[in-house]
Structure 1
Amino acid sequence: MACLATLMVGAYPVVTAAATPEPALAVMAQGQANGQSYTRAALLALAQRRTVTLAVDPEHIGPQVDAVPLAAVMGSGAMPDALRLGASDGFVAELPVSTLTTAADYGVRPWIAIEDPARPWRSPQGEDLGPFVLVWVGANAGRIGQEQWVDRLVSVQGETAPVARWPGLGLPAAVPRSDPAWRGQALFLSNCMPCHRLNGNGMGDKGPDLGQPVNAVRYLTPAGFHALVRNPRAVRHWDGARMEGFPPAVLSDTDIDAIHAYLARLDTGATLRQGKPRE
């Protein structure tokens, strides 16, 4: 029997399970197709690694996490106009450099939180959020919009400004600089663009295009727009809805008015039409 067993082992190849590649964060400078790849171990080995306390924790991963400053992986070169933050579930956030500057003015900076495999991060719905999450550290971190806290982070890409990549997002030069739509443009790019396109411009696909086929201001009154931004589920809800409300600390009433004004300025003129009812 021993000889038979030996023959049997030699007759068939030994099949071993393929090793699962270790998750890594890809960091690419503006214009680079390939950049630096950081595994969990590589991030933890950086001299800037710290255990930080999250003053707010919208991703439910804290309050204390191991993390490295975003600046530690971006290198010492010139800061790009914007950062594109990609997640494994397809979510993409645009982080204009102006947001980094404004946040720094009130003592808040972005860090990359690193998951401990022994304590995996899960959302309240049980979704895997790791192994990397972009978080904001500082007492005033609650002023950062939830769209700029990125779980399941897999890539950081330096980019030109969104309006340079999608000119259709830019306001006409004839709009007076005193018009609140200019502030609305900046707010849209940082808070709305991660999920929504406008007239086909952008990469967001988690929510509807706010300009096509009809601009949102044609069916959302200013009051209705405020209500939707503050508490989407109080206005309309379905099982697949993902939009979270924006508290006043993130978007003031004046800010919401400015976004509404921006959308109105980019209205292409398409009117509401009575569609044929479904049978």
Structure 2
Amino acid sequence: MSRTRLKLKGLSLDRLETLSTIVSQGGITRAAGGDASKQSQFSRQIAELESWFGIELLDRSSTPIKPTSAALRIAREVDEFLRGLDSLREGAGSGRKTVVFGAGERMIRSYLIPWASRVEREGVSLIFKNLTSSATRAELLAKRVDFGILRKDRCPTGLMSIAMKPIPICLLLPSKIAATRRKWTWKDVSEVPLLLLEGDERFSDFLKERCLEASVELDVAAEFSSWTQLLDGMHGFQVGGFVPKDLESRFPPGFVSVALPKLSEYADEYVVAWSSSEVEKRAELGRLVKSLKGK
């Protein structure tokens, strides 16, 4: 069938971009950001796409509702098409070429912004997307980001990567509390309230092992979803917590680092990852790879 005669009712670039957004965010609710009217609009657009394709794009039997494998495939094709259009537009004009980085807020603030301030960026426009390691992994595979910083154990096989310097974790306590003991043990730590990062399974497992060895249980006063929130909480509550050493410049005033048995054995391991095939096609990515390797 001639493409010019293909029935297009129900199909539009706007609807396809909506599908891409839903796939990227993992569902309609997150894609709409909690906006009820947007959720309704997105649901209607997906229904129209389902009618055009003749297949289900959302698995409505799951909770929460998730994109189907067909939706994932279509979203990948849409993203490739849009990136191709961007590349053609940039090549035809004299505008900057867009390069997208995916990483958590901590990595963006502690590493990417300082790195970007030192490298040659002529002709390049950088976009920094605040994503979890899992989301960064998904976006790298879908080629919706050009570079991603994620935990080493979350890096997909088949991608090129550079290992970053391991990041130790330290225990910060208000100086007055820290001074009450000359040498701190895990038993001592269990006797003071602490703040933790919510959802950090790897470090949580490490803490459980240390507590099991010492036959103690930590007194967790609160958990936070970001390091920025945790540091603010420590300052506001005047309560200690475990914090990565790369955030030292943002440690709350009046807090000191306290040594603990075996805490030095733990470190966060991250990598910068990218697709070698994409680098081969885009010279601007190759230049940035060289800069990252020299970091």
Say yes or no: TM over 0.5.
Answer: no
TM-score, with structure 2 as normaliser? 0.26
- Structure 1 or 2: larger helix share? 2
TM-score, with structure 1 as normaliser? 0.27
